[in-house]
Amino acid sequence: MEALISKCKATYEEKWGSSPSVICASPGRVNLIGEHTDYCEGFVFPMAIPLWTVFVGGKSKQKDYRSHLTTLVTLKSEPCSITLVHQQNGSFELLPEQSHMGKFILGVATLFAKKMEIDLPTFSVVVDSSVPLGGGLSSSASFAVGFFTFLEGLTGKKATLDEKALLCQKVEHDFVGTPCGIMDQMICTKAKEGQALFLDCRTLNAVAVPIQDPEVVVLVTNSGVHHELSGSEYPSLRKTCEKVAEQLKKRSLRDVSMQELQTERAKGNISEEDFIRAWHVVTEIARTVDAKRAFESNDMEMFGKLMYSSHNSLQSYGVSCDELDLLVDIARSCPGVYGSRLTGAGFGGCTVTLVHRNDVESLKEAIQMKYSFAKPVFYVCTPVQGAHIVSSE
Catalytic residues: 184
Cα–Cα dist 118/157, whole Å: 9
Cα–Cα dist 185/155, whole Å: 21
3-state secondary structure of 9: helix
Please give the helix or strand (H or E) that residue 393 lies within, else none: none
Dmax over Cα atoms in the chain, in whole Å?
71
- Rounded to 5 degrees, what are φ and ψ at 66? -130, 140
User: Helix %, strand %, coil % for the chain, to 5?
Assistant: 45, 25, 35
In this structure, which amino acid lies at residue 192?
K
**Which of 323, 339, 338 is CA-nearest to residue 374?**
323
Rounded to the nearest 10 degrees, the angle between the axes of helix 139-155 and helix 100-116 is: 40
Q: How far is CA 80 from CA 100, 102, 133, 343, in A?
A: 12, 11, 16, 29
The verdict on whether omega for the bond into residue 96 sits within 30 degrees of 0, i.e. cis, is: yes
Cα–Cα dist 320/317, whole Å: 8
* Ramachandran area for residue 166 (φ above 0: left; ψ -120 to 50: alpha; else beta): alpha
Quick check: 12 and 126 in contact, CB under 8 A? yes
Cα–Cα dist 233/150, whole Å: 32
Cα–Cα dist 87/181, whole Å: 31
